């Protein structure tokens, strides 16, 4: 069914040949009947304009979705609010049980979800499976955490025993989720899982390129017991539907570019609502002189090219100790050149399509600009229309200089620049010399020394002897960006409690009331409390 293609010519800039490729296989899965059915679940009034969703794997039409408006968002929020009140009154354990059932439904129904993710995003199946993994561990984690973390807790008061205080976590109400196209399942649903188990409803705008995976996943959540109507999906442009969501909801979880993140922050600030923003990055990996060559080459390959580099935490800058750099670079370029590309909806390939023409244009422009200004292509460097409309070879560049666009700008594609360094201080300085601070990686032999380097890198997650997955999958620990890479965190207690308002209910006893009453004797009241405070300092806490 598939054919191996080798279209590159002698004029190719790569030193090591081309990634092997296989051409498009049979018809896309799912077919139009299924995407048309999924589209009926979108909360947009009848008669709106429609938008065609095409698959980046093949360029074929995958389905059609309505273009929602601000009125649709208002209606969706109102409907969500009605259902949310019942959901907030449902015991946390019952809410958590829904997540546990969803966990099983995702694992059992993974083939269908993998097809959807591949069809609308274009990624290779192995990276689509990362999204399944994430759903399973995230739903399990929040289902276990929520009953403990959301339980009312007794808190210390100034008059212990005489005044008691209980901290409650009250759901925000309706949480708006605005998500991008690069992880259609993870970025639409994982944050929503935390918000839902905390007692909220969701109004979500998935990216217009990738709506169907999210719709199917929320359908599975309903099969798992989520009340119908608690999640409302509105498709449409960010400039209208995204803005309307920020205007009408009680908290916003945004994932996307730093530029849009700034606009979301301005709007949320005006309304005085909370928000989290998971934004862009220009992530770096440091390979120290004592790093194992095989491990670091493999780690860099996955760290840079998983999901065709369209991963907010993927590596776009590689700093390699100059003693190791020649051997590392030669082996890395060979490994990257040997990566296989395919539009097949099957396992067995490492590189999928870029998600859109815009993505292809951006990646091509970055590589062309770098090459025109003197960068050397060590692997890849070309679009591959023979495989599919938006395929681009995994690309390794050397001799990249600050005047090139990709030196500082996020490419968000399968392109990495290798820079040899002469001292670890220089490497740390270079890694930190960016407006971003999302993810970083250190490959090393001596883990203690590697950990010390990691702690000097200004990034929200730093992975030692891994590119990104350990930091992401450390679910008990917060994950997010420093500097222009984000505001707030997902994962950990922070990732759950941000979807709640903390409320303190304090109860004063009759004795406390008496003690606190100054009556006509203000001086006696002051003396009484001064003595009490001095004594209290020596009490065990």
Binding flags for ligand NAD, 287-326, as an x/- string (CB under 6 A)? -------------------------x--------------
| Residue 224 makes contact with ligand NAD by CB under 6 A | no
Position among 98, 145, 178, 400 found at the interface with ligand NAD (CB under 6 A):
178
Site size with ligand NAD, rule: CB under 6 A: 28
- CB neighbours of 445 closer than 8 A, spacing ≥ 6? 288, 290, 291, 292
The structure tokens 């002189």 sit at 289
Name which of 333 and 475 has its Cβ closer to ligand NAD. Answer: 475
Told to check if 181 binds ligand NAD by CB under 6 A, we report yes
Tokens of 269: 């600030």
Per DSSP, the three-state class of 195 is: helix
Member of 319, 328, 332, 412 binding ligand NAD (CB under 6 A): 412
Q: Is residue 299 within 8 Å of residue 306, measured between CB atoms? A: no
Catalytic residue among 130, 278, 344, 410: 278
Nearest alpha carbon to residue 218 among 174, 249, 184 = 184
Which letter does DSSP use for residue 528 in this model? Answer: H
Q: Scan residues 46-85 and list those touching ligand NAD (CB under 6 A).
A: none
**Contact stretch for ligand NAD (CB under 6 A) within 64-72, 236-244, 377-385, 397-405:** 236-244
312 an active-site residue?
A: yes
Work out which of 281, 413, 450, 471 binds ligand NAD, going by CB under 6 A. 281
Q: Which one among 2, 257, 340, 469 touches ligand NAD, defined by CB under 6 A?
A: 257
Our finding on whether 264 is near ligand NAD (CB under 6 A) is: yes
d(CA 94, CA 84): 14
Residue 131, interface with ligand NAD (CB under 6 A)? no
CB atoms within 10 A of CB 389: 22
Nearer to ligand NAD, 35 or 179 (CB): 179
Name the catalytic one among 120, 131, 247, 312.
Answer: 312
Contact (Cβ atoms closer than 8 angstroms) between residue 515 and residue 162: yes
- CA atoms of 193 and 139, how far apart (whole Å): 7
> Does residue number 187 form part of the binding site for ligand NAD (CB under 6 A)?
yes
Q: Point out the residue whose Cβ comes nearest to ligand NAD.
A: 238
Distance CA(246)–CA(261), nearest Å, equals: 12
**Number of Cα atoms under 13 Å in the Cβ half of residue 220:** 27
Q: Locate tokens 């408006």: which residue?
A: 69
Exactly one of 81, 125, 169, 243 binds ligand NAD (CB under 6 A); which one?
A: 243
Among 73, 96, 438, 475, which residue sits at the site for ligand NAD (rule: CB under 6 A)? 438
Judge contact between 39 and 66, C-beta under 8 A.
yes
Dihedral over Cα of 523, 527, 528, 529: its sign: positive
Residue number with CB closer to ligand NAD (184 or 199): 184
Among 184, 413, 481, 495, binds ligand NAD (CB under 6 A): 481
Asked if 238 is part of the footprint of ligand NAD (rule: CB under 6 A), the reply reads yes
Stretch that binds ligand NAD, among 138-146, 239-247, 398-406, 500-508 (CB under 6 A): 239-247
CB closer to ligand NAD, 229 vs 486: 486
CA nearest neighbour of 29 among 153, 114, 88, 89:
114
Stretch 484-503: interaction string toward ligand NAD, x if CB under 6 A:
--x-----------------
Q: Is 295 left (phi over 0), alpha (psi -120 to 50) or beta?
A: alpha
SS (H, E, C) 332-349: HHHHHHCCEEECCCCCCC
Provide the phi-psi class of 486: left if phi over 0, else alpha when psi is between -120 and 50, else beta: left
Other beta carbons within 10 Å of 143: 22
Stretch that binds ligand NAD, among 149-157, 190-198, 222-230, 237-245 (CB under 6 A): 237-245
Q: Which residues are catalytic?
A: 278, 312
Residues that bind ligand NAD (CB under 6 A): 178-182, 187, 205, 207, 238-239, 242-243, 255-257, 260, 263-264, 278-281, 312, 410, 412, 438, 481, 486
């Amino acid at each position: 069914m598939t054919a191996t293609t080798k279209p590159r010519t002698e004029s190719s800039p790569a030193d090591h040949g081309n990634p092997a490729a296989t051409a498009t296989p049979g018809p896309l899965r799912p077919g139009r009947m299924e995407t048309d059915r999924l589209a009926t679940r979108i909360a947009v009034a009848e008669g709106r304009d429609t938008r065609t969703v095409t698959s980046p794997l093949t360029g074929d039409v995958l389905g059609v979705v309505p273009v929602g408006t601000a009125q649709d968002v208002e209606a969706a929020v109102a409907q969500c609010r009605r259902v949310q009140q019942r959901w907030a009154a449902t015991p946390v354990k019952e809410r958590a049980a829904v997540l546990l059932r969803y966990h099983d439904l995702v694992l059992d129904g993974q083939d269908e979800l993998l097809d959807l993710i591949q069809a609308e995003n274009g990624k290779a199946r192995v990276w689509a499976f990362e999204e399944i993994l994430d759903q399973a561990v995230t739903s399990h984690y929040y289902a276990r955490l929520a009953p403990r973390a959301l339980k009312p807790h007794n808190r210390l008061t100034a008059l212990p025993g005489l005044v008691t205080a209980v901290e409650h976590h009250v759901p925000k109400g309706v949480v708006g989720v605005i998500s991008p196209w690069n992880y259609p399942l993870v970025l639409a649903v994982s944050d929503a899982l935390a918000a839902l188990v905390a007692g909220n409803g969701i109004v979500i705008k998935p990216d217009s390129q990738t709506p169907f995976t999210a719709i199917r996943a929320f359908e599975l959540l309903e099969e798992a017991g989520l009340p119908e109507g608690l999640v409302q999906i509105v498709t449409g442009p960010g400039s209208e539907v995204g803005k309307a969501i920020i205007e009408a909801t009680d908290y916003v979880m945004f994932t996307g570019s730093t530029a849009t993140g700034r606009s979301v922050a301005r709007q949320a600030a005006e309304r005085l609502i909370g928000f989290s923003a998971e934004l862009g990055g220009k992530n770096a990996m440091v390979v120290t002189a004592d790093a194992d060559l095989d491990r670091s080459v493999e780690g860099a390959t996955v760290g840079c090219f998983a999901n065709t580099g369209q991963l907010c935490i993927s590596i776009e800058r590689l700093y390699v100790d100059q003693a190791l750099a020649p051997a590392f670079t030669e082996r890395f370029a060979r490994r990257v050149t040997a990566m296989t590309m395919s539009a097949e909806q099957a396992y067995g390939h490492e590189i999928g399509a870029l998600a859109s023409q815009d993505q292809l244009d951006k990646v091509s422009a970055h590589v062309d600009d770098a090459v025109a200004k003197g960068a050397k292509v060590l692997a890849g460097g070309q679009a591959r229309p023979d495989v599919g409309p938006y395929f681009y070879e995994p690309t390794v560049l050397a001799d990249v200089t600050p005047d090139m666009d990709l030196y500082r700008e996020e490419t968000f594609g399968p392109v990495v620049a290798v820079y040899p360094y002469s001292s670890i201080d220089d490497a740390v300085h270079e890694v930190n010399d960016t407006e971003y601070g999302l993810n970083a990686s250190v490959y090393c032999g001596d883990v203690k020394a590697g950990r010390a380097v990691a702690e000097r890198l200004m990034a929200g997650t730093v992975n030692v002897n891994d590119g990104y997955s350990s930091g992401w999958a450390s679910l008990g620990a917060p994950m997010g960006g420093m500097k222009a890479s984000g505001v707030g965190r997902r994962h950990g207690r922070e990732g759950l409690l941000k979807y709640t308002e903390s409320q303190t209910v304090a109860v004063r006893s009759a004795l406390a009331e008496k003690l606190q009453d100054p009556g006509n004797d203000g001086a006696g009241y002051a003396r009484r409390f001064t003595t009490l405070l001095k004594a209290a300092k020596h009490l065990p806490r």
